């Protein structure tokens, strides 16, 4: 029994009301008897019949080779991608025409009955198709049909070669659906026939298509073929082709293509200019500076200004060749001066190779091109002059720098200080330092090191000590009271503390005095003076010209990435370049950290040649860094270079790149990279496998997924269960659990043991796909193997098991889920309770409640909500009210679902006012569902018929889209159309789009009551907003127009729908087609048939019948026959009235062969032609004096059960008796085919004909 301490007083009172029902349950079959005894015992004392280790041992010994092929063959339907279908190889011309008739029905209809197609007809068909589809998506199958039509008619009619436009349209359509290989073959066939295509758009698309597929050789061949015909591809085609050529280093081809692009005189955009820059960079990288220069000159001749990046690459190429004169003439020719980066690169290279004086002279000439030197330019000259020992020139450059209003760079000051101290001019060192500080340039550690080295070299140790104190003041070092300043100085300069001693000269023997202190004592250094001087001189010399590579390596070791970035930028300004040592330091520091990767990209743009100087480890780190930052194109480019150089590629590199490609979803690059990785023996790890299989599943590459699975199963035999579970989980997420089920069957047939996780994943996936019956069968298999399903499986299947009446299994799952009384126990109880309530098992649900309480489980909000929903279904309002009171006192929230069911119950029982009070309670506890609460209430208030309460509710809320649709439709149901119309206009003006149901209700009422203008006002509001008019709305308005005799206005309305693209898919015009035909507007009726076909809806047979009959009335027999043929091709059955009308009209016009064909079609459908049809043909034969045909027709009539009047029979017999037997025989030989066929279709043999 339940302890009273477990329950609160409110719950005790509720349970007291349940006691009679619980007592009845106790007197009946106990709840526990639902559970099979063996399964109950299993739950109480579970026994594991197999362990995972044993499974692993068994599974690892199974041969999984070939599992992929087996799975592909067994799941061929699921694994095949949807390619919009394919045309059957044995299809005939009629089938091809029928396939495309929904795109161009009017064109197909004209040629459907033609025995031999003319070139002009086919061209019109193709042009109509191209015009209709435009740039929208086309089904591949449709284009394949057109291709088959062209081949079919071309084989039967050689005159098609005279219409090259036909082939051009076909090629364009093939390109549009991505059939690049087919269109290439098609172009070759055209050339053999002497037809040369000259459409630039087609060639451009083919080239781009092949490039995107990775088939660059084909793209180049097509490009060359186009250029031979003087066809210029599009700019985007040039850009795509150039990017691909540069990426794989096809230098000469890229040069040719880029030259063509420039010479064509296109207005190049930023993307095309970037492609041009890349080509120039590739040429310069490979030492083809002259070709690059000529290309730039052509670029300039086309009124384009080269970018600074292009000029820098040209500059760098000339600097490597040391051809500075040609470089200068280049700048004069293009009339574009270099920027400071290019100019400083030139000055640095000149100083390095020819000295600062030559550089200075060159600078003067360079300024004539418009180049403006900056402080770094002068700094380069100052540094090199100091290095050369030319202090005079250095100071001249400094003066010129200051005169130009520029601020000297720190390195320029350091160079001057170093040079002066090196020359022994130590007195001026402090003065330069003071001037530097005065001009706002703060000294750095290198400045102080230079000063210390200079003063030590000049034996001015007191000055050196002052510098140390200044360093402490600036925060570079910290001194303690016991520090020896000289020791600090020597240590800072790199000397060993014990290697140098400062001693006093005691004037014993030869004097050793080198300098004097402030007291006049003679001092000397007790050290290796030559080594001392050499070390100090090296410090000064190395400080004259900044070596940024050393700076970068040092900061990389310090892991100061901000300093590295600053130095990299500063290096470019000084005209210096990274060496392999500096570059490796930069790459390693960035690749191993989470810093920005942009500096690396900038380096590669300028120094792609340096990749050959990097170690394999660095290159692998680089690709991994690119992948981490999702710069996969850069990563793939570097990887291709590594492959070309035969550099070892680490597995981690492949993993990083493939994972990045999976995240981006770039399928073509992913497949290419994966293929290369497999060739190198790469097999993904479990994490890589998860990422790769997820991407492939999302992209629908299921065959690749299966192949990957086999690779993993073979490569990791001891992890097969984990691999299989990952595979099943990803397939379930992607919506392909059926494949997993087939795989499971195949593996188990091989002796593979699935674990519990695998079964659970299969069940969950099958439930998501609503194949619950199979999931339950799989659950039975699990239970038969004594496996315990997880909580998620229990929660999924318990309600479903109850629905199909398998209560025993549902209760057993409940026992599994609640054995340990875990946190999920309430959820499991709730699932079973929901199942009981759903199937009307209220007593069992109450027993379940008692079971919960007996186990000490308190009831939460979810359980209370389930109880309320169950009693609402049982219409037990008193119990619901009591439960609701308990929930309110416990401060538990009523769910939206429970609220909806409770409001429905209240409104059904006439308690609408109580529903209003319940709404107030919900609003007090709701945080974000206010509109939902109101909408539910409004919905059920309307259904209860208490429309007068709606106004009171509306005063409290701001309606949303759902509310307005409720109001519009429900007011119309209450016949309050004025309110319905009001709210429809209100929601439209508030930019809420009405539902089709709301529109249909209001528009139909307005049209039925003659308020056409108001209906049109709604339509105009919708037109203004571009909202599609559904079929019912269009039909209502048009029928109203027609009823008032306003046929022209009706047609204008429909035309406007077409022009503004306001027609929905699968539009239905069948009703108004009939009305237009009755009004004699057969042309508009045919137009509506065409619109329906184009929107994917085939008109019914009645619509075709009306149009055919209308055409017959207006003697438009060709149109009528076209429609009749179309009906038959679409397997629609014309009515006997339509056939009679058509036969009668054809006979009247003397088209007896067509009349015979129509009559034969009636027999082929298994129908008997009417007597009127026979009489029409008979009368026409009599009129034409074709007595043989008349006689045969009369006999066919008799065989069909019709009798002719005596006068007609006697007339025929009389005329036949006057005809000679010989003529009769001749006529029989020529004309008996029709009648024989006619009689045989009626069920009579030739022998039975007299």
Q: Judge contact between 1009 and 1043, C-beta under 8 A.
A: no
In a domain, 1054, yes or no: yes
Q: Are residues 1191 and 1242 in the same domain?
A: yes
Shared-domain flag, residues 975 and 895: no
On the question of pLDDT at 26 being above 90, the answer is no
Question: What pLDDT does 927 receive?
Answer: 66
Domain CATH number, residue 977: 1.25.40
Q: CA-based angle 188:191:196, to the nearest 5?
A: 115
Distances (CA, A) of 858 to 851, 880, 1158, 1187: 11, 19, 80, 100
pLDDT of residue 44: 37
Structural domain includes residue 1168: yes
Residue 975 shares a structural domain with residue 939: no
- 1186-1232 pLDDT tens trace: 888 888 888 888 888 887 776 666 666 666 555 544 454 555 444 44
pLDDT at 592: 59
- Do the strands 515-516 and 501-504 form a parallel or antiparallel pair, or are they unpaired? unpaired
Nearest to 144 by CA among 201, 85, 217: 85
Split at pLDDT 50, 70, 90, the class of 25 is very low
Contacts by 221-224 with C-beta closer than 8 Å and gap 24+?
Answer: 222/184, 223/257
What does the pLDDT read at residue 1141? 92
Q: Same domain for 1207 and 1241?
A: yes
450-464, 607-621, 813-827 — most confident range: 450-464
255-to-262, 276, 396 alpha-carbon distances in Å: 10, 9, 45
User: Could you report the per-residue pLDDT of 708-751, keeping only the tens digit for each?
Assistant: 888 888 888 888 888 888 888 888 888 788 888 888 888 888 88
Average pLDDT over residues 588-594: 61
683 is a domain residue: no
Domain end (from 907, 931, 956): 956
Same domain, 882 and 895: yes
- Are 1057 and 1021 within one domain? yes
The rounded distance, in Å, linking the Cα atoms of 22 and 27 is 9
Give the residue-averaged pLDDT of 457-463: 84
- Say which DSSP state 859 is in: P
- Looking at the fold, whether 1042 and 1147 belong to one and the same domain comes out as no
> How much of the chain, in percent, has pLDDT values that exceed 70?
85
Q: What per-residue confidence (pLDDT) applies to 259?
A: 92
* pLDDT tens by residue, 910-944: 888 888 888 888 888 776 678 888 888 888 888 88
Q: Report the C-alpha gap between 1154 and 1134 in whole angstroms.
A: 16
Q: Is 1118 in a helix, a strand, or coil? A: helix
Residue 550 placed within a domain: no
The helix/strand/coil state of 526 is strand
Per-residue pLDDT band at 135 (split at 50, 70, 90): low
Q: Measure Cα distances from 397 to 416, 462, 515, 553, 1116 in Å.
A: 11, 32, 35, 30, 98
Same domain, 881 and 929: yes
The model's confidence at residue 1145, banded by pLDDT at 50, 70 and 90, is very high
pLDDT at 613 over 70: yes
Residue 1243: per-residue pLDDT: 44
pLDDT for 48: 39
Q: What percent of the chain has pLDDT over 90?
A: 27
Residue 133 lies in a domain: no
Is 991 found in the same domain as 920?
no
If asked whether residues 1145 and 1217 sit together in one domain, one would say yes
pLDDT band at residue 382 under the 50/70/90 scheme: very high
Q: What DSSP assignment string belongs to 1154-1212?
A: HHHHHHHHHHHTT----HHHHHHHHHHHHHTT-HHHHHHHHHHHHHTT----HHHHHHH
pLDDT computed for residue 17 by the predictor: 47
User: Can you give the pLDDT at residue 240?
Assistant: 92
> Of the given ranges (326-330, 908-912, 1131-1135), which has the lowest mean pLDDT?
908-912
Q: Which two tokens stand for residue 1082?
A: 């057969």
Its sign, for the CA torsion 1141, 1147, 1151, 1155, is positive
pLDDT level of residue 763 (50, 70, 90 thresholds):
confident
User: Domain span at residue 1028?
Assistant: 959-1064
Distance of CA 918 to the CA centre of its chain: 46
Q: Which of 117-121, 518-522, 620-624, 677-681 has the lowest mean pLDDT?
A: 518-522
Q: Which of 1036, 1064, 1092 is the last residue of a domain?
A: 1064
Q: Which pLDDT score is estimated for 501?
A: 66
7-19 tens-digit pLDDT: 444 444 444 444 4
Residue 740 lies in a domain: no
Model pLDDT, residue 205: 87
pLDDT averaged over every residue in the chain? 82
Q: What is the pLDDT of residue 14?
A: 41
Given strand 515-516, what is the order of strands in its sheet?
A: 501-504, 522-526, 515-516
Domain boundary among 1044, 1064, 1084: 1064
- Tally of structural domains, the chain: 3
Q: Are residues 904 and 986 in the same domain?
A: no
Using alpha carbons, list the distances in angstroms from residue 484 to 458, 480, 514, 1047. 20, 9, 21, 112
Q: Quick one: average pLDDT of 983-999?
A: 92
**pLDDT tens digits for 41-72?**
334 333 333 444 555 555 667 777 888 888 87
Asked if the model's pLDDT at residue 782 lies above 60, the reply is yes
* Mean pLDDT of all residues in 1073-1087: 93
| Closest to 492 in 3D by CA, of 549, 451, 548 | 451
Domain assignment present for residue 948? The answer is yes
Are 1140 and 1243 part of one and the same domain? yes
Q: Nearest to residue 388, comparing CAs of 359, 428, 351?
A: 351
Determine the Cα–Cα distance for residues 1139 and 1151; give it in Å rounded to an integer. 14
Residue bearing the bigger pLDDT, 522 or 297: 297
Q: Is residue 893 part of a domain?
A: yes
What does the angle CA 925 – CA 930 – CA 934 come to, to the nearest 5 degrees? 115
Q: Is 1053 exposed, middle or buried (0-12, 13-18, 19+ CB in 10 A)?
A: middle
What is the average pLDDT across 612-620?
A: 82
Least confident of 237-241, 262-266, 557-561, 727-731: 557-561
- Taking CA atoms, 817 is separated from 34, 756, 794, 795, 821, in Å, by 16, 15, 7, 9, 8
| pLDDT tens digit sequence for 78-113 | 665 434 444 445 568 888 888 888 889 998 988 888
């Amino acid at each position: 029994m339940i302890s009273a301490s477990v329950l609160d007083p409110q719950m005790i009172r509720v349970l007291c009301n349940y006691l009679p029902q619980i007592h009845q349950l106790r007197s009946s079959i106990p709840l526990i008897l639902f559970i099979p005894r063996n399964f109950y015992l299993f739950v109480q004392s579970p026994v594991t019949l197999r362990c995972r280790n044993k499974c692993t041992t068994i599974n690892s010994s199974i041969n999984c080779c070939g599992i992929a092929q087996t799975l592909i063959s067994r799941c061929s339907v699921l694994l095949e991608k949807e390619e919009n279908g394919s045309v059957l190889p044995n299809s005939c011309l009629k089938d091809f025409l029928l396939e495309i008739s929904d795109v161009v029905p009017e064109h197909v209809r004209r040629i459907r009955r033609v025995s031999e197609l003319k070139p002009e007809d086919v061209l019109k068909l193709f042009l109509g198709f191209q015009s209709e589809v435009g740039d929208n998506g086309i089904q591949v199958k449709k284009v394949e049909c057109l291709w088959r039509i062209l081949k079919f008619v071309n084989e039967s009619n050689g005159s098609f070669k005279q219409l090259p436009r036909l082939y051009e349209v076909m090629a364009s359509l093939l390109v549009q659906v991505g059939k690049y290989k087919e269109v290439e073959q098609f172009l070759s066939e055209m050339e053999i026939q002497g037809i040369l295509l000259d459409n630039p758009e087609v060639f451009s698309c083919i080239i781009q298509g092949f490039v995107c597929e990775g088939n660059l050789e084909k793209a180049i061949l097509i490009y060359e073929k186009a250029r031979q015909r003087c066809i210029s591809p599009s700019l985007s085609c040039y850009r795509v082709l150039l990017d691909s050529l540069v990426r794989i280093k096809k230098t000469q081809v890229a040069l040719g293509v880029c030259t063509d692009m420039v010479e064509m005189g296109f207005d190049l955009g930023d993307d095309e200019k970037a492609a041009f820059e890349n080509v120039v960079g590739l040429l310069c990288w490979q030492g083809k500076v002259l070709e690059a220069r000529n290309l730039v000159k052509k670029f300039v001749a086309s009124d384009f200004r080269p970018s600074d990046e292009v000029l820098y690459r040209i500059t760098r190429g000339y600097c490597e060749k040391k051809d500075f004169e040609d470089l200068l003439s280049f700048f004069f020719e293009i009339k574009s001066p270099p920027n400071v980066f290019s100019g400083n690169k030139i000055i640095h290279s000149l100083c390095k190779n020819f000295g600062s004086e030559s550089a200075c002279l060159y600078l003067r000439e360079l300024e004539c091109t418009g180049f403006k030197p900056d402080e770094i330019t002068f700094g380069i000259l100052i540094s090199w002059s100091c290095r050369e020992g030319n202090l005079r020139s250095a100071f001249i450059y400094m003066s010129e720098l200051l005169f130009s209003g520029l601020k000297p760079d720190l390195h320029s000051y350091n160079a001057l200080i170093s040079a002066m101290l090196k020359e022994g001019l130590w007195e001026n060192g402090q003065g330069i330092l003071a001037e530097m500080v005065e001009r706002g340039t703060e000294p750095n550690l290198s400045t102080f090191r230079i000063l210390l080295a200079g003063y030590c070299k000049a034996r001015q140790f007191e000055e050196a000590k002052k510098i140390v104190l200044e360093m402490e003041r600036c925060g570079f070092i910290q001194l303690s009271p016991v520090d020896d300043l000289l020791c600090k100085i020597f240590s800072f300069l790199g000397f060993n503390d014990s290697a140098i001693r400062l001693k006093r000269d005691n004037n014993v023997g030869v004097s050793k005095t080198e300098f004097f202190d402030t007291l006049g004592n003679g001092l000397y250094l007790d050290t290796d003076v030559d080594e001392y001087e050499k070390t100090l001189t090296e410090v000064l010399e190395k400080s004259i010209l900044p070596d940024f590579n050393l700076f970068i390596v040092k900061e990389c070791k310090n892991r100061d990435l901000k300093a590295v970035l600053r130095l990299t930028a500063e290096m470019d300004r000084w005209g210096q370049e990274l060496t392999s040592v500096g570059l490796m330091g930069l790459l390693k520091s960035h690749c191993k950290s989470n810093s920005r990767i942009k500096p690396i990209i900038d380096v590669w743009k300028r120094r792609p040649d340096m990749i050959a100087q990097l170690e394999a480890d660095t290159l692998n780190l680089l690709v991994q860094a690119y992948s981490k930052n999702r710069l996969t194109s850069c990563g793939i480019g570097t990887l291709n270079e590594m492959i070309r150089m035969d550099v070892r590629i680490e597995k981690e590199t492949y993993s990083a790149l493939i994972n990045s490609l999976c995240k981006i979803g770039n399928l073509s690059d992913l497949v290419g990279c994966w293929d290369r990785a497999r060739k190198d023996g790469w097999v993904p790890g479990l994490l890589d496998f998860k990422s790769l299989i997820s991407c492939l599943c999302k992209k629908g590459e299921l065959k690749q997924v299966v192949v990957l699975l086999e690779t993993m199963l073979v490569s990791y035999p001891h992890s097969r269960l984990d691999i299989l579970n990952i595979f099943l989980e990803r397939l379930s997420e992607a919506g392909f659990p059926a494949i997993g089920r087939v795989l499971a069957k195949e593996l188990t047939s091989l002796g593979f043991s699935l674990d519990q996780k695998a079964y659970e994943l299969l069940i969950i996936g099958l439930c998501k796909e609503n194949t619950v019956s199979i999931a339950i069968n799989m659950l039975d298999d699990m239970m038969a193997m004594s496996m315990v399903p997880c909580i998620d499986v229990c929660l999924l299947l318990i309600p479903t098991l109850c629905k199909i009446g398998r209560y025993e299994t549902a209760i057993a799952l409940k026992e599994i889920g609640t054995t340990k009384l875990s946190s999920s126990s309430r959820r499991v109880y709730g699932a079973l309770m929901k199942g009981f309530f759903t199937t009307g098992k209220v007593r069992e649900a109450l027993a379940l409640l008692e079971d919960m309480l007996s186990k000490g489980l308190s009831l939460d909000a979810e359980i209370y909500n389930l109880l309320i929903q169950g009693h609402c279904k049982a219409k037990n309002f008193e119990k619901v009210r009591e439960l609701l009171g308990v929930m309110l006192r416990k401060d538990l929230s009523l769910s939206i679902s429970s609220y909806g069911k409770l409001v429905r119950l209240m409104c059904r029982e006439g308690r609408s006012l109580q529903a209003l009070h319940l709404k107030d309670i919900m609003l007090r506890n709701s945080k974000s569902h206010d509109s939902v609460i109101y909408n539910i209430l409004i919905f059920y208030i309307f259904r209860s018929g208490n429309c007068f309460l709606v106004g009171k509710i509306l005063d409290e809320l701001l309606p949303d889209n759902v509310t307005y649709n409720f109001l519009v439709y429900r007011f119309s149901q209450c016949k309050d159309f004025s309110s319905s119309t009001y709210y429809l206009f209100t929601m439209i003006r508030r930019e809420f789009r009405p539902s089709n149901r709301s529109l249909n209700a209001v528009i139909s009422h307005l049209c039925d009551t003659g308020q056409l203008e108001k209906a049109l006002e709604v339509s105009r509001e919708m037109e203004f907003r571009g909202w599609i008019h559904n079929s019912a709305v269009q039909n209502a308005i048009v029928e109203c127009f027609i009823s008032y005799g306003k046929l022209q206005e009706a047609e204008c309305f429909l035309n406007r729908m077409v022009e503004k693209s306001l027609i929905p898919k699968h539009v239905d015009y069948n009703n108004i087609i009939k009305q237009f035909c009755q009004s004699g507007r057969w042309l508009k009726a045919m137009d509506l048939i065409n619109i329906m076909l184009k929107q994917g809806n085939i008109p019914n047979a009645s619509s075709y019948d009306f149009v055919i009959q209308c055409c017959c009335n207006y003697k438009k027999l060709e149109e009528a026959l076209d429609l009749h043929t179309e009906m038959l091709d679409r397997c629609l059955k014309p009515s006997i009235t339509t056939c009679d009308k058509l036969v009668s009209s054809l006979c009247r016009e003397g088209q007896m062969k067509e009349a015979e064909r129509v009559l034969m079609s009636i027999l082929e459908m298994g129908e008997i032609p009417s007597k009127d049809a026979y009489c029409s043909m008979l009368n026409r034969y009599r009129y034409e004096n074709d007595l043989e045909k008349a006689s045969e027709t009369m006999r066919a009539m008799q065989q069909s059960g019709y009798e002719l009047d005596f006068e007609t029979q006697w007339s025929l017999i009389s005329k036949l008796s006057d005809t000679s037997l010989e003529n009769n025989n001749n006529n029989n030989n020529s004309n008996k085919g029709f009648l024989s066929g006619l009689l045989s279709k009626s069920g009579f043999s030739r022998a039975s004909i007299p």
